[in-house]
Structure formats: structure tokens, C-alpha cells
Amino acid sequence: MKALGEILTFNEKFVAEKKYEEFSTSKLPNKRMVILTCMDTRLLELLPRAMNVRNGDIKLIKNGGAVINHPFGSVMRSILVAVYQLHADEVLVIGHYDCGMGGLKADEMIENMKERGVKEETLETIEYSGIDVKKWLRGFSKVEDSVANSVKIIKNHPLLPENVPVHGLLINPETGKLDLVINGYEE
């Protein structure tokens, strides 16, 4: 458990040496867009570099798989805040090839939970409360379909202004190459 200590030590030096100065910007996105993408480690620096996006340029939302689970969940709320309060005029959903959420094995993950101390009764209680844990954990089978589905949920959201284009793309996590799935200007 030394990761936190290392971060705090580094951070003290970072601030003391004013390394933050080169990142100085405002909270409004220069490129007036909000991007929803995956939390995949390979995309951390690659995605912004491959898109010529720098600190201050965009609003970035991340989760496992770049998916929207619920039209009134926190991802959609963040998108609406970006659009209405923070001058984002376009929305981009960027999934990626070889995504861990593609074919995520819910059964296997539940077994891991049990091995790490989650009790069978707990899982049963959740089930009796009307929550299908397996369904909740499950990823997607085709990333193209998942991106298209997220775009559809955002584009058809009753609270999204009609003139906001919603694009769907896929990124290669090795080369950074983008493939267009949905061109929001044509929808």
C-alpha cells in the first residue's frame, strides 16, 4: 500500500516547483465539446494526443466501456451539465477496440467477489431487492453496437437541445486511429 505515499510525496514537489503553471486554463472547454470514453489505461494519454486535445480543450467523462447505463444516471447528467453550463456544443462517444467491457464475464466476476469475501446471502438480498447483478455487470458483445446505443440514448434524451450533434467513434488503443461510427452532423 505504498502507492498513495508515493503520489503524495511527488505531489508536494510538483506544487512546490510550480509545475502546474503549464497546465493553467479555465473550466470552459476551448474546443466546446464533451467526450465520453473508456477508462482503459492505454487511452489515458494516447486518446488526447491522437485527437490534438490538450488541457482545457474538452470536458472528459470516463467509465468502463464508455457506456450509458441509464438515461438519468450520472454520465448523462454530466453531459447535460457540460452542454448547458460549460459551453459544450458537441458530444462525442468514443469506444475502443479490445475493450475489457466487451464480453465481460459477469459469472466470473461474481465468483471473484465471493472469493474476496462477499457472502452468498448478500448477493441473494440484492437479487430479492429487484436488482439483477449479472445484468448490471454485463458489458456488451459488439463495441460498435454499444457506441451506437450510447449515441442513441444521448441524442434522443428529452433534455438535450436538438441542435447538439452527437458523434460515435471507435479508437484503436495501440495506434490511436479513429474510425467514425456515427457522424452526428448527418443525424
What are the binding residues for Zn(2+)? 38, 40, 96, 99
Could you give the 3-state DSSP secondary structure of residue 168? Answer: strand
Quote the CA–CA distance of 33 and 72 in Å, as a whole number: 20
At its nearest, how many Å lie between Zn ion and the CB of residue 158? 28
Cα dihedral sign for 10, 12, 18, 24?
positive
Binding piece for Zn ion, criterion CB under 5 A, among 16-24, 39-47, 147-155, 162-170 = 39-47
At its nearest, how many Å lie between Zn ion and the CB of residue 173? 8
At its nearest, how many Å lie between Zn ion and the CB of residue 5? 29
Burial of 138 per CB tally in 10 Å (0-12, 13-18, 19+): middle
Nearer to Zn ion, 38 or 79 (CB): 38
Count residues near Zn ion (CB under 5 A): 3
At its nearest, how many Å lie between Zn ion and the CB of residue 139? 9
Binding piece for Zn ion, criterion CB under 5 A, among 31-39, 75-83, 109-117, 140-148 = 31-39
Binding-site residues from annotation: 38, 40, 96, 99
Nearer to Zn ion, 160 or 170 (CB): 170
Contact call for residues 146 and 140 (beta carbons, < 8 A): yes
Interface with Zn ion (CB under 5 A), residue from 34, 35, 36, 40: 40
Nearer to Zn ion, 88 or 94 (CB): 94
Quote the CA–CA distance of 96 and 143 in Å, as a whole number: 7
Residues 6+ apart with CB under 8 A from 101: 38, 64, 65, 67, 139, 140, 146
The residues facing 166 across adjacent strands are 91
Could you give the 3-state DSSP secondary structure of residue 118? Answer: coil
Which of positions 78-137 make contact with Zn ion (CB under 5 A)? 99
Interface with Zn ion (CB under 5 A), residue from 33, 34, 36, 38: 38
- How many helices and strands in the chain, by DSSP H and E? 7, 5
At its nearest, how many Å lie between Zn ion and the CB of residue 123? 26
Q: Which residues bind Zn ion (CB under 5 A)?
A: 38, 40, 99
